[in-house]
Structure 1
């Protein structure tokens, strides 16, 4: 129905690309709107590009330009999943820590205590470093194998594209598992107990 209606536009954006259109417009008008949309997302992409280049991102493995989340390695079986608002990339993102309680609880406390220090004038990565009072593992000196361990049940790192996201809370164990693997394992144990969608049971490695 062109030119009465605009042509379909497929873009790899983290936000909808809404074309402003009247029948008198041309494809050049759409192109200019596309360039303006690109410019409006520059800060968002710059923030995530810095994270991708200077930290070990566990997920997504190959992020697209529309991806708004990053799971960043912090240490051995400890990571933080952040979700960045494309419209406000310099604001504090949603943060979710993954790992054993004894490892992630101090990080949660630091984040809560230091939220007031967030500075929208500095980069997202620098803000996270200062709020959590940590240095993220550097791609320049460490390999992913240094902190990314295989699932203790299926013995693979990737399962349907996902990395292990559950860790034994026993400090002397700390074995990681895929959620799906651990859930299936615990369902098969007579000693496990379930409450709604949460299942409790012994670690396949240390029996704690």
Structure 2
């Protein structure tokens, strides 16, 4: 059985039930939610009772999905390429070879998410400083996206003005954009280069260079593109 609820301009939320021993045993559930969901079940309960629990769970996640929908609709999301309703992360394009990965708590979507910047140090370090200096500005009464704009003192690239291809530069080693589901997330720190690489490609390349050095799980070496 598939339960679903549709709203205008919103993706479907699906909830699949398997009833192998109905009604003596609880149903097996497969649900596209960002949090664990278990049916409260008694032998005398009906499928309507299950559906009402499904609707209550949807309502509890409404603010989370609204926040993620706004990000998906107003920014260029690099990853995941096709986010499911259970996905809690978004990698948002900031500029050429610069992005921020946000991890949103589905139970507290209006709280400050975990943010991780991706890009060359000379570009992302000022963004980290702005974020840390402006943490006191976070306002749970306004949207998550607007809060991020306020803290970073910037507007994210608009879908109405730019194309996704403006932010999807191929890896400088394998010359592909997507590799095993991942996109380039490592960037040369030299401002004159800024070439992006897949982490796996760069790690394998640096491991093969005699001049590379490794400290714990971090490997250092020359850029494959500019040799800096």
Deviation at 1:198, TM superposition (A): 1.2
Query: Over residues 38-58 of structure 1, what are the superposed CA-to-partner deviations in whole Å (9 max), with x where a residue is unaligned?
Result: 111111001000000110000
1:75-154 → structure 2 map (5 Å cutoff): 75-154=95-174
Give distance in 1, aligned partners of 2:32 and 2:50.
15
Q: Give 1:110 deviation, angstroms.
A: 0.5
Q: Does residue 172 of structure 2 align to residue 175 of structure 1?
A: no
Question: Among residues 171, 176, 194, which one is paired with 1:156 in the alignment?
Answer: 176
Q: Could you say what secondary structure the match of 2:134 adopts?
A: helix
TM-score, normalised to structure 2, is 0.90
CA drift at 1:131: 0.3
TM (norm. structure 1) is 0.98
Unaligned runs of 5+ in 2: 1-20
- How far the C-alpha of 1:196 sits from its partner, in A, is 2.2
Distance in 2 (alpha carbons) for counterparts of 1:82 and 1:65: 15
**Quick check: 109-118 or 190-199, which moved more?**
190-199
1:60 aligns to what? 80
CA displacement, residues 120-171 of structure 1 (integer Å, 9 cap, x when unaligned): 1111100000000011011100011212211000111100111101000111
Q: Which has the higher contact order (CA 8 A, sep 6+)?
A: 1
**Structure 1 residue runs of 4 or more that deviate by more than 4 Å after TM superposition:** none
Q: Which of the residues 11, 14, 17 maps onto 2:34? A: 14
- 1:31 has 2:51 as partner: yes
Distance 1:147 1:2 in 2: 51
Instruction: Give ranges in structure 1 of 5+ residues lacking alignment.
Output: none
Pairs aligned (count): 208
Partner of 2:93: 73
